[in-house]
Amino acid sequence: MAEPLLRVEKLVRRFGGILATDNVSLDVARGELHAIIGPNGAGKTTLISQLTGQLLPDAGTIELAGTDITYVPAYRRSALGLARSFQITCLLLDFTALDNVALAAQAHDGHSFRFWGNARNESNLRRIARAALDRVGLAARADTVVSRLSHGEQRELELAVALATSPQVLLLDEPMAGLGITESARMVKLLQELRREVTIVLVEHDMDAVFALADRISVLVYGRIIASGAPSAIRNNDEVKRAYLGEQHAVTRHV
């Protein structure tokens, strides 16, 4: 069994009296698409934030390709190959789509303490940026200011920005959030293509997408992983059914 690309071991995070992450352990193998599902308030975003470094855990370890990154600051994790998309769109709203992606490429192209040359003329960065935009289907909207993009386009842009950093692992926090039927289908198709190139950890509510895409699924309830395995096993797991369909309902349809 090959060494997992991302290994989380007994992660713990408290907020005052609340145990948001309760001894979470999971493995993500290289090339896998691992989905994390769970009812609202289960602690999915808290978990992702600890993986990317926006939050630091109280206990436990996170390893990326064998390196302990538990307390490595957020900005350095990107250099190590971890890229993230945000649940609530987090982009540079007053810049163009191209600028957003080019900046991500710039972050991974040496240092940025260059004060003289016009960065927008750096053909290398622009080329990488356009390629990433093309990948997600936003090539035509490259020069549009982000605040003018539709919600679906912004979600796609989030993906492009993450891709431009040439990541080893892509952490996607509800990329389908707020998307309509057509846009969701596009996103699923895009993820199907991407999974062949990069390892993906996907947090999602959209069950159709999850079962269509995932190699393995982990279920997070009240900060604990209650089940982890192949989609078919998860679908038939009693505890999962109770947690999801008993007290809280999962999103299986778009409105």
Phi (first) and psi of residue 13, to 5 degrees: -145, 125
Does 52 engage in binding with other proteins (CB under 8 A)?
Answer: yes
**Least distance in angstroms from the C-beta of 23 to other proteins:** 21
Distance of CA 168 to the CA centre of its chain: 12
- Among 67, 68, 120, 150, the residue binding other proteins under the rule CB under 8 A is 120
Q: Which is nearer to other proteins, 10 or 114 (CB)?
A: 114
Instruction: Convert residues 73-102 into a mask of x (bound to other proteins by CB under 8 A) and - (unbound).
Output: xxxx-xx---xx-x---xxxxxx---x---
Does 201 engage in binding with other proteins (CB under 8 A)?
Answer: no
**Least distance in angstroms from the C-beta of 52 to other proteins:** 7
86 vs 48: CA distance, rounded Å:
9
Phi (first) and psi of residue 121, to 5 degrees: -95, 5
**Least distance in angstroms from the C-beta of 34 to other proteins:** 20
All residues at 6 or more sequence positions from 163 whose CB lies less than 8 Å from its CB, including other chains:
83, 132, 135, 136, 170, 194, 198
Q: Measured between alpha carbons, how far apart are the two ends of the chain, in Å? A: 42
All residues at 6 or more sequence positions from 115 whose CB lies less than 8 Å from its CB, including other chains:
none
Does 123 engage in binding with other proteins (CB under 8 A)?
Answer: no
Phi (first) and psi of residue 152, to 5 degrees: -60, -40
Q: Are strands 82-85 and 18-28 parallel, antiparallel or unpaired?
A: unpaired
Does 233 engage in binding with other proteins (CB under 8 A)?
Answer: no
150-169: which residues touch other proteins (CB under 8 A)? 161, 165
**Least distance in angstroms from the C-beta of 231 to other proteins:** 29
Look at residue 116 and give its three-state secondary structure: coil
- Among 106, 154, 199, 237, the residue binding other proteins under the rule CB under 8 A is 106
Q: Which is nearer to other proteins, 120 or 242 (CB)?
A: 120
Binding site for other proteins (CB under 8 A): 15-16, 52, 54, 73-76, 78-79, 83-84, 86, 90-95, 99, 103-104, 106-108, 112-120, 122, 161, 165
